[in-house]
Structure 1
Amino acid sequence: MNTLRLTSLVLLTLSMIACSSTPKSSDPAPLTEISETRSLKKVWSTSVGDGQGTAYYRITPVIDGDELFVASADGVVAAYNKKTGERLWRKNHELNISGGVGLDRNRLFVGTADGELVVLDRNGGKILWRAPVNGEVLGAPASDGSIVVVQTYSGLIHGFSLDDQQRKWTYSAQVPRLSLRGTSSPVITRGVVLAGLANGRLVALDVDSGTARWEQRVAVPQGSTEIERLVDVDGRLLLIENGQLVVANGYQGKVLAVDVRSGRPIWSKDNSSYVGATESLGNIYVVDAEGGVSAIADGGQNIAWTQTVLARRRLTEPAALSGVIVVGDFEGYLHLIGQLDGQLQGRTRHDSDGLRAPMLVDGKLLYVYGNSGKLAAYKVQDK
């Protein structure tokens, strides 16, 4: 990683997290007493390696069928029964895993801090092959079964054929001198690869050739300093309307819904964010960079509610289940917010080392992977 990109991590840390020397108004909001009406009941839990490591990774598990696959920064890759937590297999590899996990029917995909795409057998975790990608991988690779696409922190997006293990194409995006610590994870849908970029754009690439079909601005650089001009699209992309629309969040930009086929903007709302959005009950739920949680209603036309009591607590991407929105914070607390009114309903601590990775929802279960490697399934219950 070059000096400027490394500096971006330091500057992001200084600007986003509030250390003890900063003014009191910039400190994370303290947790206050709440009258809990809902809670999270732990269904099962385990520990996976050293979790997210120390380099601000957001390695995210993935679910397919009855299996949950997860990786850790120190090279552990494992599979669990999603309902019971029974470990199906576990492999220890000498890998510096920094992005993942992606999958298709037969394979798992992770990326490394050393600039490699690693392809593994999903039935046992054996490494099948690996390929250089010329940059640190901070998101999950994506596959449609015939191609695997991986995005790097250096602005490259590669498409590899799964038949012959050869690189089919490479797309290179202009990278600003300064950017946030992270990348979007590519999404393959309707014959295109969707990716959020550090230059504030959302791009759709032809899945076979890698040529750009369209680009759309999510955030526009403004201001006189490099920090003021940060515009990364780093959060997970959200497909809605049966995959017809993609929703992207931009730092110091907006939340934007775009038609996948044409690239035409459908609606937008101002919302600076470095995490993705979620959908439930017809609403789009977003977290802003200051820790506000909002429900966007009526096809992007209105804000149903905004909750700001968790300001500056460095919240995760929101998750929706059983009538609540759940967000995690830097101290490892899970906060339950009512989907209809935005009121805090409960709080549970999952991992004292904090939470960064997006959570997963499958049916009535919430899956949380903490920074220290604590992995657990929860269900929501009334108090």
Structure 2
Amino acid sequence: MMPTLWNSTAVRRGFALSLVWMAAWSSSAVAQGEGQLVTRELAASKGLERAWFAQIPVDANRSRVTTWYLYFDRLYGVTDSGIITALNAETGEQLWARQVGNPGHAAFGPGANSDFISVVSGGRLYMLDRHTGRVKWIRELGSAPASGPALSNTTAYVALMTGRIEGYNLKDPVAEPWYYQSKGRTFLRPTVTGNVVSWPTATGFLYVGHADDPGVMWRMQTDDDIVTSPAQQSPYLYIASTDGYLYCLNEMNGQEAWRYSTGYAITSSPAVVGDMAFVASFEPALHALDSQTGQGKWVAPGISHFAARGKERVYASDRMGNLLILESATGRPVCRLPVAEGQETLVNDQSDRIFLVNDHGLVQCLHEIGVNEPIMYRQPVAPPAASDKPVGDETPAADAAAPATQPPAVAPAAEEDASPFSEEPAEPADAPAGDAAEDDNPFDTF
């Protein structure tokens, strides 16, 4: 298959369309945020501060944000029209915004590491510089993608509709991809956690391989489907299943350390924060466990998913999107913070920050009063040695963008930004290749 080249006319047309919808966005962005913010007074009554809020570029008449993705110091929003926007997760400043793929086409992902951010759109894998949003390279996938990509320090992993997983070398995009044919299809993107990459399939299998040296190490099968991504805290991998169990396995060999039964199906991803693991069951309840032993600490009913862990409090959400505040030690409810319709909390197992987001592009960051510096519970995986980094990945001086309240510019994926490749990989085998509104009546208690 010959490399696919971009048509410069199409690029110019896409740029013009970007200007048109940007004008529409700038005139409606303020209106979108009206009545959606948690007021400072309401936050303070719950022991919280609203640190910042931001509105990323979304044409409300045409598109929605489909994915919010937190990667330590960056928060990314991806729309169904192919716009990806990067925010500073601590200040809310917009760092860059980029049209990826053909305008109006959905983008799936993203996946990120310390150097790159990646999405899938229109059967292609797009690799962008994480600091600038500049497209580094584009590669045709071997088949129709089933989800967005996941990145380790060396490899981009993409799940295909056939159940095949492909791995692309980040520094050599023309190299033939590594691949593995899984048993059963997968509809979740692979997950890179620490030293391993993993992906579940519809047949209840979880496959686990080396993150930076592609190859499957082991697999496990539960008694029912796995429909959520696993969590990790070295040396363990935490897997939730619709059989109602949370499994804790050694990430390198698959040996089971413990399992915990919630009594109901688990359809949301677990979170491991410090010495505690959190998992929400379908019959809404949040279970808090000792992350090392699996011993249950407490169960809080009426909670649909975990949001964040502060110094002495745990934050979660109910099915209506309200922010629930619990005592960390006992799970006892402290109070509830009502939020505007359409707002939901982002799961954050990396720091104590609470992020409220919606599909119109509005994001708010809350934290406990007085905790001005974030409490970090984990750090990103160490990047390659400095001498091995691609040229031009340093953060430019202009990376500190305009204030979040100003309409940002969106850059199209220009022809000279990318070097697209479309080498067709070998056929799959049965075995692996190689081996809020201002609210004057908040609810103070349950």
TM-score under structure 2 normalisation?
0.63
**Residue 347 of structure 1: which of 312, 318, 336 is its match?**
336
Q: Return the alpha-carbon distance in structure 1 between the equivalents of residues 62 and 306 of structure 2.
A: 20
Aligned residues: 322
Superposition RMSD in Å: 3.4
- Contact kept, 8 Å, 2:343 with 2:356, in 1: the verdict is no
Contiguous gaps of at least 5 residues in structure 1: 1-35, 222-230
Q: Write the letter of the residue equivalent to 1:168.
A: P
CA deviation after TM superposition for structure 1 residue 239, in Å: 1.4
Distance, in Å, in 2 between the alignment partners of 1:264 and 1:55 is 45
How big is the shift at 1:163? 2.0
- Structure 2 CA distance for aligned equivalents of residues 140 and 349 of structure 1: 34
- Kindly indicate whether the alpha-carbon contact (under 8 Å) linking 2:51 and 2:366 is maintained by their aligned counterparts in 1: yes
Query: In 2, Cα distance between the equivalents of 1:353 and 1:162?
Result: 37
Q: Which residue of 1 aligns with 2:357?
A: 369
Q: Specify the alignment match of 1:299 in structure 2.
A: 292
Aligned to 2:144: 135
Task: Classify 1:147/1:50 alpha carbon distance in 2 versus 1 (closer, same or farther; 3 Å).
Answer: same
1:157 matched to 2:161? The reply is no
The answer as to 2:116 corresponding to 1:107 is yes
In structure 2, the CA distance between the partners of 1:186 and 1:346, relative to structure 1 (3 Å rule), is same
Describe the superposition over 1:125-145 as per-residue Cα deviations: whole angstroms up to 9, x where unpaired: 23333334433444552221x
How far did 1:317 drift? 4.5
Q: 1:211 to 1:276 in 2, by over 3 A?
A: same
The answer to whether the aligner puts 1:88 opposite 2:76 as a matched pair is no
Shift of 1:245: 0.6
Distance (whole Å) between structure 1 residues aligned to residue 75 and residue 289 of structure 2 = 30
Offset at residue 342 of structure 1 (A): 1.4
CA contact 1:37–1:346 (8 Å) conserved in 2 = no
2:367 aligns with 379
> 2:68 aligned with 1:79, yes or no?
no
- C-alpha separation in 2, matches of 1:325 and 1:343: 10
The residue type paired with residue 371 of structure 1 is D
Secondary structure at the counterpart of residue 306 of structure 1: strand
Q: Which has the higher helix share?
A: 2
SS of the counterpart of 2:67?
coil
Match of 1:6 in 2: none
Aligned match of 1:198: 202
Task: Give the structure, 1 or 2, with the largest relative contact order (CA under 8 Å, sep 6 or more).
Answer: 2
Aligned counterpart for 2:226 among listed residues 232, 239, 243: 232
Partner residue in 2 for 1:283: 276
Deviation at residue 379 of structure 1 after TM alignment: 0.5
Query: Which sections of structure 2, spanning at least 5 residues, go unmatched?
Result: 1-43, 371-443
Partner residue, 2:17:
none
SS at match of 1:367: strand
Q: What amino acid is the match of 1:257?
A: C
- Choose from 170, 174, 186 the match for 2:191: 186
Q: 1:185 to 1:52 in 2, by over 3 A?
A: farther
Q: Which residue of 2 aligns with 1:224?
A: none
Question: Which residue identity is paired with 1:353?
Answer: G
In the alignment, is the contact (CA less than 8 A) between 1:62 and 1:69 conserved in 2? Answer: yes
Using the TM superposition, give the Cα deviation of residue 187 of structure 1 relative to its aligned residue in structure 2, in angstroms: 1.1
Q: Shift of residue 301 of structure 1?
A: 4.1
How far is 1:273 from its partner? 1.3
Alignment partner of 1:171 is 2:180: yes
Distance 1:346 1:155, change over 3 A: farther
Q: Which SS does the other structure have where 1:61 is aligned?
A: strand
Percent of aligned pairs sharing the same letter: 17
Q: Report whether the alignment pairs 1:118 with 2:126.
A: yes
Contact (CA 8 Å) 2:65, 2:358: kept in 1 or not?
Answer: no
**Residue identity matched to 1:280:** V
Mapped partners of 1:51, 1:234: distance in 2 = 30
Asked if the contact 2:163–2:184 (Cα under 8 Å) also holds between the matched residues in 1, the reply is yes
Alpha-carbon distance in structure 2 between the residues aligned to 1:51 and 1:232: 35
Secondary structure of the corresponding residue to residue 208 of structure 2: strand
CA distance in 2, matches of 1:80, 1:375: 10
In 2: Cα distance, 1:132 partner to 1:342 partner:
48
Cα distance between partner residues in 2 of 1:123 and 1:102: 14
> Residues of 2 paired with 1:53 and 1:250: CA distance?
38
Distance 1:326 1:161 in 2: 38
Partner Cα separation in structure 2 for residue 296 and residue 47 of structure 1: 36
- Report deviation, 1:373: 2.3
SS in structure 1 at match of 2:144: coil
Which amino acid letter does the alignment assign opposite residue 277 of structure 2? Answer: I
Distance 1:184 1:168, change over 3 A: closer
1:71 is aligned with what amino acid? V
1:256 and 1:267 in contact (8 A); partners too: yes
Distance in structure 2 (CA, Å) of the matches to 1:333 and 1:378: 14
> 1:265 matched to which residue of 2?
256
Q: Which stretch shows the higher mean deviation, 250-259 or 36-45?
A: 36-45
> What is the CA–CA distance in structure 2 between the aligned matches of 1:171 and 1:279, rounded to whole Å?
29
* Structure number with higher strand proportion: 1
Rg: which structure is higher?
Answer: 2
Secondary structure, aligned partner of 2:302 = coil
Query: Greater CA deviation, 194-203 or 361-370?
Result: 361-370
Structure 1 residue 280: Cα displacement? 3.5
- Give CA-to-partner distance per residue, 1:333-353, whole Å, 9 cap, x none: 222222211122233344522
